[in-house]
Amino acid sequence: MSQPLRVGVAGLGTVGGGVVRLLREQADLLALRCGRPIVVVAASARDLKKKRDVDLSGIRLESDPMALATAKDIDVVVEVMGGSDGPARQLVEAAIANGKSLVTANKALLALHGAEIARLAEAKGTLLGFEASVAGGIPIIKALREGLVGNRVKRLYGILNGTCNYILTTMRETKRDFGDVLAEAQKLGYAEADPSFDIDGVDAAHKLSILAAAAFGAPVNFAGVHVEGIRRVGALDIAFAEELEYRIKLLGVARETENGIEQRVHPCMVSNKTPIAHVDGVFNAVVVEGDFVGTAMFQGRGAGAGPTASAVVADLVDVARGHGLPPFVVPTAKLSAKPVASIEKRRGAYYMRLMVLDRPGVIADITAALRDENVSLESMLQHGRSHGPNDSVPVVLVTHETEELAMRRAVTRIAALNTVIEPPNLIRIEDF
């Protein structure tokens, strides 16, 4: 059998521990499949005294991850520390500069520096893998790079954050409000102690920007993603969505349009007849629409030690086999920056939920604002008389397809009415 692939793992937390365990438990299978063993020779963590529930025997432990970048007995560095800059970025750049291949699960790093890191790896002739950075165990990067490579991607969209999907699913199933379910998700260890990256949509936006780069042949453009999180989705919205036969999901949507690349992450209403509406709990899903393949949907666990290690190891197997494909599907010199298509140009239907004073003429004022912006209504819901604060009632309006800019202008006017007592809650309806 040929020489083993010698691995250095930077980070022994959830993902790093999972990678070490998988490589140990599947050692024979992987050696057979690669034609050579994959062996962890060294690993690093901040606190080397911390008790880890993974067998680290025979692995050299380093307190400084940079030791992995320079070690002569390491062929490939696995970066699973996290953080878009600082130690993770320094390690990645140093490892590549030293001619080592690099595998990472770090979507924050790739979203901000992905194109540059890919360029460094290409210039050095080393391999770069980041399958684990998007949708955990779902092999979506490989799908775009290999299985779907014969297609022009027309659109892709997906549930890219398990924490948000868990919160929205639980709100619907238990009819509880956002804050309550978030606290539970934190207690169960799903959401981070500081959950803002998850619930404000930033984590999903990191992942979407990586997917869009691979799908559309452009450098990763995280700054070009329109991002809204799920804090404003209330129990009332979930209940109205059910009544209208929709489900609310935090989606990332990317499309190449005549105005450039559209990338957006926000809560969406999706018909409860679509498959993605039924991807619940901590599961992720990505749907790719290709010109020849049609619609392909990938579903699975987006986080956790096992699924994420599965993706990291797939990249390691590529390195072991010497499979050097361009990380973002085309060589970095051919990635071409494209304009950002403004969300203001989005055309689609909208759900708008208002809390209004229960007085004559209120609806006339609201519909006048919509009429003036040429926004046509499909339906309106109001149940019973006042039961909210200050004699208010919830009113829901569903529009026909319209341009986002017109909708925003109408919302600004509606929000200024003194009979509308809370900022309108606007949720885009996606027609999949």
Query: Known catalytic residues?
Result: 207
Total Cβ atoms within 10 A of residue 33 = 13
Q: How are beta strands 260-271 and 128-129 bridged, if at all? A: unpaired
The residue (of 61 and 188) whose beta carbon lies closer to ligand HSE is 188
| String marking each residue 303-322 x if it binds ligand HSE according to CB under 6 A | x-------------------
| String marking each residue 5-24 x if it binds ligand NAP according to CB under 6 A | ------xxxxxx--------
- Tokens 């297609």 — which residue? 151
Amino acid (1-letter code) at residue 83: G
| CA dihedral of 171, 288, 427, 159, whole degrees rounded to 10 | 30
Provide, rounded to whole angstroms, the least separation between the CB of residue 314 and ligand HSE: 16
From the list 75, 79, 131, 203, which residue makes contact with ligand HSE (rule: CB under 6 A)? 203
The residue (of 252 and 326) whose beta carbon lies closer to ligand HSE is 252
Report residue 366: phi and psi, to 5°: -65, -45
Residue number closest to ligand NAP, CB atom: 13
Q: Is the dihedral of CA 343, 345, 351, 357 positive or negative?
A: positive
Q: Which of residues 135-164 bind ligand HSE (CB under 6 A)?
A: 136, 161-163
Residue 129 binds ligand NAP, judged by CB under 6 A: no
Tokens of 60: 């050299």
CA 289 – CA 297 distance, rounded (Å)? 9
Decide which of ligand HSE, ligand NAP, none touches 194; Cβ closer than 5 to 8 Å per partner kind: none
From the list 75, 79, 131, 198, which residue makes contact with ligand HSE (rule: CB under 6 A)? 198
Report residue 29: phi and psi, to 5°: -60, -45
Q: Which stretch binds ligand NAP (CB under 6 A): 20-28, 116-124, 303-311, 317-325?
A: 303-311
Residue 188 binds ligand NAP, judged by CB under 6 A: no
Q: Among residues 310, 306, 269, which one has the least CA distance to residue 397?
A: 269
Residue 159, beta-bridge partner list: 285
Give the count of residues interacting with ligand NAP (CB under 6 A).
24
Residue 304 binds ligand NAP, judged by CB under 6 A: yes
Q: How are beta strands 128-129 and 246-257 bridged, if at all? A: unpaired
CA 174 – CA 177 distance, rounded (Å)? 9
From the list 1, 28, 29, 47, which residue makes contact with ligand NAP (rule: CB under 6 A)? 47
The residue (of 92 and 108) whose beta carbon lies closer to ligand HSE is 108
Q: Among residues 378, 418, 408, which one has the least CA distance to residue 396?
A: 378
Provide, rounded to whole angstroms, the least separation between the CB of residue 163 and ligand HSE: 3
Residue 65 binds ligand NAP, judged by CB under 6 A: yes
Q: Among residues 125, 80, 79, which one has the least CA distance to residue 99?
A: 125
Q: Which residues bind ligand NAP (CB under 6 A)?
A: 11-16, 44-47, 50, 65, 80-82, 87, 105-107, 132, 136, 303-304, 308
Q: Which residues bind ligand HSE (CB under 6 A)?
A: 136, 161-163, 198, 203, 302-303
